[in-house]
Amino acid sequence: MYDLVVIGAGWAGFNAALKAKKSGLKVCLVERGEIGGTCLNRGCIPTKSFIASAKIYSLIKKSAVFGIDPGSPLIDFNRLKERKEGLVRILAEGMRSRLSGVDFVRAEASIISEGRLEIGGSRVDTKFTLIATGSVPAGLEALKFDGERVISSNEALDLDFLPRSLLIIGGGVIGCEFAGFFSALGSDVTIAEKLPSLLPGEDRDISRKMETFFKKKGVKVITGTDPLSSDLGVYEKIVVCVGRRPDTAGLGLDKLGIKFSRGIEVDDFLMTGLNNVYAAGDCTAKRMLAHYAAYQGETAVENMLSGNKRRAAAQAVPSCVFTDPEIASVGLSEEAASVSGIQVKVHKFDFRASAMARVSEEAEGFIKIVSRNDSGEILGGCIIGPRATEMIAVLTVAICAGMDVERMRQVIFAHPTISESLHEALS
Tens-place pLDDT, residues 5-16: 999 999 999 999
For position 307, what pLDDT does the model report?
Answer: 78
Domains of the chain: 2-137+245-305 (3.50.50.60), 150-242 (3.50.50.60), 319-426 (3.30.390.30)
| Beta strands across the sheet bearing 165-169 | 150-151, 237-240, 165-169, 188-193, 220-223
96-119 average pLDDT score: 95
SS3 of the chain: helix, strand, coil, percent, to 5: 35, 25, 40
Q: Calculate what percentage of the chain has a pLDDT beyond 90.
A: 91
28-34 average pLDDT score: 96
Residue 72 binned pLDDT confidence (cut-offs 50, 70, 90): confident
* Distance (Å, whole) CA 240 – CA 232: 12
* Distance (Å, whole) CA 379 – CA 344: 9
The pTM assigned to this predicted structure is 0.94
* Distance (Å, whole) CA 347 – CA 425: 6
Q: Calculate what percentage of the chain has a pLDDT beyond 70.
A: 100
Which of the 8 DSSP states describes residue 410? T
For position 298, what pLDDT does the model report?
Answer: 97
Q: 366 pairs with which residues across the strands?
A: 350, 384
Smallest CA-to-CA distance from 211 within 223, 195, 227 is with: 223
What are the pLDDT digits (tens) for 171-208?
Answer: 999 999 999 999 999 999 999 999 999 999 899 999 99
Q: Give me the chain's average pLDDT, please.
A: 95
| Identity of residue 137 | P
Q: Is the pLDDT of residue 315 over 80?
A: no
β-pairing verdict for 27-31 and 103-106: parallel
256-285 average pLDDT score: 94
Catalytic site includes residue 347? no
| Beta strands across the sheet bearing 326-331 | 319-321, 326-331, 378-385, 366-372, 344-350
Give the contacts of 388 (CB within 8 A, at least 6 positions apart): 320, 325, 326, 327, 328, 365
* Residue tagged active-site, from 291, 347, 415, 423: 415
